[in-house]
């Protein structure tokens, strides 16, 4: 009888030990998967942080040159001509978009999901991040559409900037800075031109605000991740 009890206890303990080993191994694998995912995400979010900051710098230059053209258009009386540096014109009609990297994030969300991460703050910030990216994409798309549909049309009816664009193409091909363009383009001041430029500044302000929001959200996530 005693032998049977001992043998039965050994079997029960062995089963429990096996379950414990399996559970411990599962937890180890989950934490390893979490560490791997965090390192991969850290590299991706660092890339996106650099892209967001580059986008901010470009938008600020674009805005500064738009304001320069707007101020020049306000100086003479309506119908009078004024000169604007070709570099400002090129910035005015150029468009850009943030090509964010989301492969690692999409992989995590599609496979393990956010429950992979133990930190609730990290889960919350990662869950919110795509919304910040969406804001940037939508605002940049609106600004780009306004340039293509309105700005270029109005500028072309108030001045001939084809030479500026041709010179810019040569500069870009030679990897030179657009700021090196040395000539100017003549435009004619009008109420329509002033209105369009003012609206465009508003689009650029919204784009810059969205990019700064993305920059801040990305920085907060990186603070919770291991170094890339």
Q: What is the pLDDT of residues 84-115, one digit of tens each?
A: 888 888 888 888 889 999 999 998 888 778 88
Percent share of the chain, pLDDT over 90: 53
pLDDT at 13: 45
**Into how many domains does the chain fold?**
1
> Under a CB-based contact definition with an 8 Å cutoff, are residues 74 and 153 in contact?
no
Range 85-118 burial, b when 16+ CB lie within 10 A, else e: bbbbbbbbbbeeebebeeebbeebeeeeeeebbe
- Domain assignment present for 73: yes
Range of the domain at 181: 2-222
Distance CA 86, CA 182 (A): 7
The better pLDDT of the pair 62, 183 is held by 62
The better pLDDT of the pair 13, 183 is held by 183
- Domain assignment present for 204: yes
The better pLDDT of the pair 21, 199 is held by 199
- Domain assignment present for 227: no
- Domain assignment present for 36: yes
The model's pTM is 0.82
pLDDT at 191: 94
- Domain assignment present for 228: no
């Amino acid at each position: 009888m005693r032998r049977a009890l001992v043998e039965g206890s050994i079997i029960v303990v062995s089963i429990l030990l096996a379950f414990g080993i399996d559970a411990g191994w599962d937890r180890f694998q989950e934490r390893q998967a979490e560490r791997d995912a965090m390192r991969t995400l850290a590299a991706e979010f660092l890339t996106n942080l650099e892209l967001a900051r580059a986008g901010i710098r470009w938008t600020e230059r674009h805005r500064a040159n738009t304001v320069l053209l707007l101020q020049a258009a306000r100086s003479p009386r309506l119908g009078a001509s004024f000169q604007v540096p070709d570099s400002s014109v090129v910035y005015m009609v150029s468009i850009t978009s943030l090509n964010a990297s989301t492969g690692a994030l999409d992989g995590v969300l599609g496979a393990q999901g956010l429950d992979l991460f133990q930190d609730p703050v990290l889960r919350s910030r990662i869950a919110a991040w795509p919304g910040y990216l969406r804001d940037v994409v939508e605002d940049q798309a609106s600004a780009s559409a306004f340039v293509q549909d309105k700005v270029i049309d109005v500028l072309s009816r108030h001045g001939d900037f084809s030479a500026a664009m041709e010179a810019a193409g040569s500069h870009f091909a030679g990897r030179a800075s657009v700021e090196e363009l040395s000539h100017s383009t003549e435009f004619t001041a009008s109420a329509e031109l002033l209105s369009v430029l003012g609206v465009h500044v508003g689009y650029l302000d919204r784009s810059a605000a969205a990019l700064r929001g993305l920059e801040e959200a990305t920085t907060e996530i990186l603070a919770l991740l291991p170094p890339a």
